[in-house]
Every structure is written in structure tokens, then in C-alpha cells.
Amino acid sequence: MGRLLALVLTSISIPLPSHATLVADRANFQQLAEQGVAQMQQGWWNAKKGWYDNRSPDDGQLASMWSSYPMMELVAAVAIADPTPANVALVNTTFKAGEGLWDPTIDGTGGIAWQWGLSPSGNAYFDDAGWWGIAYLDAYRATGKARWLWDAGRVLAYIDRYGWDTANGGMYWDTGHAYKTSEPLAAATLIAATLYRIQHKKYYLNLATKYLTWADAKTLNPQAGNLYGRSATDGTVMDYVEGMMIAAHVQLCLATKQQSYCNSAESLAQASLNVFPELHPWMPEPDTIYLQGMLDLYAYDGNPTWYALAYANATTAEANARGDDGRWTKDWWGYWADTGVLYAPAATLELFAWMAATPPPAS
């Protein structure tokens, strides 16, 4: 495996192998991701209905938004890592089909349904809308196609119009306004910050800073190193919320040239390392969102600590997540798999694709 480099993170040590090994592993992750895309398209794509099945073998239900999100991200990340004409074409085909998650009946102007092709969809979830918008930003990154920015922008407008509490601040979880939670707030912040960096429209900066100002005032948990809690009344911290907030701060730092945003991203990342286990035993889907945020920070500041965290989880997943049938249907520890459900293998393969898209640190 080559010479090990010990990276000391407060009380956490994450070893990396030699640069040569990291380069070889990056190529391996790329191969696993590309093979995985082909496997997923064969096993889960429903050509008759034009979207992914929720399970393979098909149980008659198309994939929900939460289940579809990592598959969409996988397709985008593979093309970012290896922008061949075939990979880019698959992004455009997939994300055009993904517009079938838009339900024009929601709240009169349209929003994201919880399941593809469902209209009227009844109750709708703003965290679902957030995943959809983030995926379209990555589709733009993979293809440069302006339509995908338009999709991200329309979902952000939907979240802000119907999810944001204009009287007291905070983002509701669903259109029923039963309670507020940080998942859609973090997603909307990341979408707004990224759109501002790309399009330089003050509207997006105003949204991003509105969300951050409220979150900083109401949800920071001092007992967890000032990570963002679930809501103003629930201090529970979740790794994927921190990952999105880390990425949002990086985007604002790049867009505004204000170093304070990058300082905040690094503080959030260090606090996350101190709070969450190095190999975080939760679920592949939220954990991959968290690790993508860490890789975004690494791409900005070059700190190998953030890369090492993602690398440790990716190599653990490679060692344990493949099932007896050759599909990546187990979790990263080799245990449960909701056998055949779309999101489990898609999220693991998505992590491999992000590792392939990220140049490793030098020795």
C-alpha cells in the first residue's frame, strides 16, 4: 500500500497511502463507478415508464425522490470524472427524464413530487425538492447545459415561496407546515450559493445570506462544536446537513471573495470530524452527501484531511458493500441492505464517482 501518512485531527488520525497508490485507487474508483452505472441502468431503469424502478427486481413502484437522488448524482459525477460523449449524453437523458418529478399542481405553481410522475402528488417535501435542485447543479457542472440551472432555480424559488416561514424564519419540512427542519434549509442555502457563484444574481446571494443568518442565530449547537442542529428547538446534528452547509460556505467564499465564509467551512468540517465517527455508521445516502461536502472543501483549500475522510469511507465501502450477486447492495460495513432498493447501491457508487472526480493530494 506504500508509505502511510498520518493526519492528526485533534484526537482522530486518518492514514493515507502513498500518492502513487492514491492515483491507482482513483482510477479504480472510476472503473467501479462506470461499471456500476451500467449495472444500475440494466437493473433499475424502466424503459417502458421512463424512470428508475424503486427495486430490482421490479416491485411495480417507481423510485421516490429520496431513492432517485443518489442515482441522478451518480450519473452526473461519473460524467464530471470522465466527460466522454456517452457519459455526458447519459446525464442529459437522465436529467431530462428527471423533470418528470416536477408536479405543476403543487401549490398552484408547481414543485417536486415525492415520486416520479405523480400528479397530483398531495403533500410535498421541501427536503426532496432540495435534493433535486442540488442534483441539477451537478448536472450543469457535468454538461454546461443552461437548462439544468433553470431547473435548480425554479426549485429554489418553490422552496423559498412555500417552505420559508416569512414571519419567523426557518424552513418547513413539507407543504403541510407541520414543523421546521434543517435538511431543506441547508439544501436551499447550497443551491442559492451555487447559483450566485455561477450567475452572479444578487437575488441568489440575498436568499443564501437570509438562510444562513437565521441558521446561525437559531440552530448552532455549542455542545456539538457549533454545528447546525435540526431546528431552532432540536439540537440534533446530522452529517449530511453539515456537508451541505460546508459546501454552501465554500460556494459563497468563491463567489464573494470573503475569506470568512471559507473559515466557517473549515470550522464546520473540523467540528464534524470531532463529532461524527471517522467511519460513520449511518446510511450510504446521507453519508455520501456529507463526504461530497468535505471533498468540495478539499478542492478549495487542498487540506488532505478532508480528502482522507472520504477516502477512508470509500475504501471501506469497496471492501464491504458488494453483495453476493455482484451488486453494491450492502452498507459500507457489509451488513443490512434493503435488498434491491435503488438508493443503497447508487449512493455507494456515487461516492466512488466523487473520489474519481477528485485529484488526490500529493505526498
Summarize pLDDT for 147-179 with one digit per residue, the tens. Answer: 999 999 999 999 999 999 999 999 999 999 999
Q: E strands, the chain, where? A: 5-9, 12-16, 45-46, 51-52, 102-103, 111-112, 220-221, 227-228
Choose the CATH number for 5-357 among 3.30.70.20, 3.40.50.2020, 2.60.120.10, 1.50.10.20.
Answer: 1.50.10.20
CB 106 within 8 A of CB 165: no
Residue 309 to residue 316: CA distance in whole angstroms: 11
Summarize pLDDT for 280-321 with one digit per residue, the tens. Answer: 667 899 999 999 999 999 999 999 999 999 999 999 999 999
Residue 130 to residue 69: CA distance in whole angstroms: 10
Other Cβ atoms within 10 Å of 17 Cβ, number: 18
Summarize pLDDT for 178-200 with one digit per residue, the tens. Answer: 999 999 999 999 999 999 999 99
State the chain's mean pLDDT as an integer: 94
Q: What ranges do the domains of the chain cover?
A: 5-357
CB 305 within 8 A of CB 273: yes
Per-residue pLDDT, 341: 93
Cell of 36: 456500476
Per-residue pLDDT, 1: 28
